[in-house]
Amino acid sequence: MDTDLILHFLNIPWVFILWTTFLKSFILLNLVLGVVSVTVYAERRVSAFIQDRVGPNRVGIPLTLFGGKKDIPFFGLGQMIADPIKLLTKENFQPASVNGFYYWLAPKLVMIPPILVLAVLPFGSSLFGVQMTIADLNIGVLYIFAISSLSVYGITLAGWASNSKFPFLGGIRSSSQMISYELALGLSVVPVFMICGSLNLNAIVDWQVRNGWLVAPFWPSGFSVASLLHNPAEVIHSFIAGVSLQRVMLWIPLMISFFIFVVAIFAETNRLPFDLPEAEQELVGGYHTEYASMNFALFFLGEYAAMFAGSGAIVSLFLGGWSCPLIPDGTTGFFWGLVNILIFFAKVSMLLLFFIWVRWTLPRFRYDQLMRLGWLGFFPIALGNIFLTALILAIIHR
Amino acid sequence: MAIVVNRPKLTLAERCYVPAIVAGLAITWKHLKRALFNRGIVTMQYPEEKWDANMPDWYRGAPTLVSDEHGKDRCVACQLCEFICPPRAITIKPMEIPGADRWSKVEKRPEEFDIDMTRCIYCGLCEEVCPEQAIYLRKDYSITGLNRHEMIHDKETLYKLGGVRTGLVFKWNELK
């Protein structure tokens, strides 16, 4: 009786939306924070491998603490837990000269925007008929740009409130860098909207499910295992038909915008080769020089969460989101819904690995090079790309 | 005379640095792949792997006291090492050798000989100054202790670490 009542209550439309949204937010947030800590570990390990070192490989299961003979190293994965414990238990030292209120506010401002961005990312197709997006916003991409550009306030405030020269320089650099690359970022995705006809990330991903990923928009519609088994000849035929002149023509501006978007995301997340606000070697640590313990950890968390959010945006916009050819979406069953979520996270992980790989390959840009690249390189190219797309679309639809 | 260094004229590919970036990524990927299969890693896993076998002859590790082939402790407590020690790590309390001993009225001997290993800078001046060739820097480098007291090497520890040195050993000799 009671369970019936509860089930009935949970099925009231607005209650249903409420509790599923809370559940999705909770799970996604925890998943992302988990991914972030794995990324920090991966960053250390991959950087070590690239430099012919070993990296953290000892912290595992500390059996000796409980009277065991030997610790189990477990590839050093215990580092993921050891690092936060260290940061949480350290003294949260506040230098005497800082502006207290903003000094404490800044790390939170860096931390919050990337997590807010997660709200619009379609991280899976659907589970039990519930769409795997926390907020199905019609202005999804605009929301991402609006929110992610807020994180510059955190960094600038940190630089200013620290009342010290290196953080100040870092804050200034960050503000001008972020504003410059936001332009290229915003303009580079306009061709995507022109082709997909929507700003909604779910709609963009759906378009890619039907027409192939935007970096390779050649797949025929209804491309699945069943159709491949029943009449492969027809699938191959439609595949060839997919690689038409129109598609190839559209592919060119899409690749340009993909390239610019990825580079601009690097600049937005302050990753090397664009990590001028941090710039360990010249600015000590840039905007977070004066921060210690959990305040510093929040900056760290914010950076990696921003990497995740940026990768999620790249995946949703260009790499087909949760979709993968030959794999059905969540409407066909619970299992495939989970697989779709896994695919999204796998794609994001590959991109995160790419972020790390690039970081340990390229040296930092000089400041004027950075600005020249942004304003004289990517800005005009992105702008021209819009006109190119418009031209191609006009030719196709004539 | 001024030397004019002409800047090289870069091609378009060099100016847009995409080929260079791809080449760099290829190099780092090669290293990553090699390290994943545990090849090419140059790091030595310290407590398990040690460099001891490759230690050079002139390596200056922990200072120790030695005794000769007749079982006689070489140190005569002249305190020269104590005086020359730059960080003042050495403390010697000399004593007279009691009358029954063969060496009484001839030499002194240290009653206490402490080297504070938290202070020692491994400079080797004590070894160089010692007229009796009693103090030697050995190859022990891993000197650890749980507190400051454990880090002070007393006479017993020093003789145990030093062991026996046979024959007249000159400091410039290769045998150390």
pTM comes to 0.80
* Predicted confidence (pLDDT) per residue in A272-299, tens digit: 788 877 777 788 777 888 888 888 888 8
Position with higher pLDDT, B67 vs B86: B86
- What percent helix, strand, coil does chain A show, rounded to 5? 70, 0, 25
Long-range pairs, A22-29, Cβ under 8 A, ≥24: A24/A130, A24/A132, A24/A134, A25/A119, A25/A134, A28/A118, A28/A123, A28/A134, A29/A115, A29/A118
> Does position B24 have pLDDT exceeding 60, yes or no?
yes
Residues of B with CB under 8 A from a CB of A: 21, 24-25, 27-29, 31-32, 34-36, 40-43, 45
Instruction: Enumerate residues 6+ apart whose C-beta is below 8 A from A28.
Output: A118, A123, A134
**Mean pLDDT for the stretch of residues A304-308:** 89
CA distance A336 to A316: 18
Q: Taking CB atoms and an 8 Å limit, are B31 and A51 in contact across chains?
A: yes
Whole-angstrom Cα distance, residue B155 to residue B90? 11
Contact by Cβ (8 Å): B119, B155: no
With a CB cutoff of 8 Å and minimum separation 6, the contacts of A81 are A59
What is the C-alpha to C-alpha distance for residues A313 and A301, in angstroms, rounded to an integer? 18
The pLDDT score that the predictor gives to residue B171 is 46
Assess A91–B contact: CB distance below 8 Å, yes or no. Answer: no
Query: Quick check: B122 pLDDT over 50?
Result: yes
Give the nearest chain A residue to B43 (CA atoms). Answer: A53
The pLDDT score that the predictor gives to residue A221 is 58
Judged by average pLDDT, the poorest of A157-161, A217-221, A244-248, B108-112 is A217-221
Could you give the percent of chain A with pLDDT greater than 70?
93
pLDDT higher than threshold 70 for residue A156? yes
Residues of A in contact with B34 (CB under 8 A): 52
Average pLDDT, chain A: 83
Helix (H/G/I), strand (E/B), else coil: B164? strand
pLDDT value of residue A374:
87
Mean pLDDT of B103-118: 85
Torsion-angle region of A67 (φ positive above 0: left; ψ -120 to 50: alpha; else: beta): left
Nearest to B49 by CA among A79, A76, A78, A54: A54
- Long-range CB pairs of A116-120 (<8 Å, 24+ gap) are A116/A147, A117/A143, A117/A144, A117/A147, A117/A148, A117/A309, A117/A312, A117/A313, A118/A28, A118/A29, A118/A32, A118/A308, A118/A309, A118/A312, A119/A25, A119/A143, A120/A144, A120/A201
Closest chain A C-alpha to B63 CA, distance in angstroms: 32
Q: What mean pLDDT comes out for the span A189-200?
A: 85
Taking the C-alpha atoms of residue A386 and residue A381, their distance in angstroms, rounded to an integer, is 9
Rounded Cα distance between A76 and B176, Å, is 41
Q: Does the structure show a pLDDT above 60 at A222? A: no
Residues of B in contact with A48 (CB under 8 A): 35, 43
**Is B21 in contact with A46 (Cβ distance < 8 A)?**
no
Least confident of A18-32, A179-193, A230-244, B80-94: A230-244
Q: Which of A51, A53, A361 lies nearest to residue B25, judging by beta carbons?
A: A361
In A, minimum Cα distance to B21 occurs at A362
Most trustworthy range by pLDDT among B12-16, B34-38, B118-122: B118-122
Confidence class for position B83, pLDDT limits 50, 70, 90: very high
Q: B88: pLDDT confidence band, cut at 50, 70 and 90? A: very high
pLDDT for A220: 61
Closest residue in B to A50 (Cα) is B32
- The answer to whether residue A380 scores a pLDDT higher than 80 is yes
How many helices (H) and strands (E) are present in chain A, helices listed first?
17, 2
Residue A362 in contact with partner chain B when CB distance is under 8 A? yes
Interchain proximity B31–A52, CB inside 8 Å:
yes
Residues facing A61 on adjacent strands = A72
Domain boundaries, chain A: 94-397
Cα–Cα distance, A33 to A36 (Å, whole number): 5
Q: Which of A111-125, A262-276, A330-344, B29-43 has the lowest mean pLDDT?
A: A330-344
Does B174 have pLDDT greater than 60?
Answer: no
Indicate the average pLDDT of chain B.
84
pLDDT at B78: 87
Whole-number pLDDT of residue A75? 78
Burial class (CB in 10 A: 0-12, 13-18, 19+), A325: middle
